Amino acid sequence: MNMTHYMSLLADNQPWNLILFMAIPVIFAETITVTEFMILFSKNWNGPLRAFNRVCSILAGLYFTGIFLYLFPTAFVPLTLNGEWHTWVDVVAVGFYLSGVLFLLPLALLDLRLIARKRTEEGQMKLHFLLISGFLVVAHIAMIFGMVNPEIMGSMAGMGH
């Protein structure tokens, strides 16, 4: 079976790529989400749980920005320039994965107090929740399309795999 470049990246260099490119960002996102629910329901905007949530958000945003800065020029650009995509499914999987930076970087900037400073704590938490939710949506779309065998979506004639 042929794979998308997303799945190929995760399958290579086992278990390290899986840990670095999927496990760490997803564990951060799930931790942020769970703590976010607890904070929003308790309305305790300044307790130790919020401090932990803030640290996780900053680390996740900076970490995923590093992933984006690594993969965009070394994978996305060459695949595009050389026409090596494994059908549109491959583009969707990789594109949605990389688009996670559009949610996690602002999340870090929010908790570093570099954006949305004039919002109330509750307003910042609502924005925080929207950003982590957006990341989870694009990450799951990437995972779903990444698992599809691209051959069923169209011909891969001329591909090296």
Residue 35 to residue 55: CA distance in whole angstroms: 12
State the pTM of this model: 0.91
- Mind listing the pLDDT tens digit for each residue in 92-112? 999 999 999 999 999 999 999
- The identity of residue 126, as a single letter, is K
- Mind listing the pLDDT tens digit for each residue in 39-78? 989 988 889 999 999 999 999 999 999 999 999 999 999 9
Can you tell me whether residue 106 is helix, strand or coil? Answer: helix
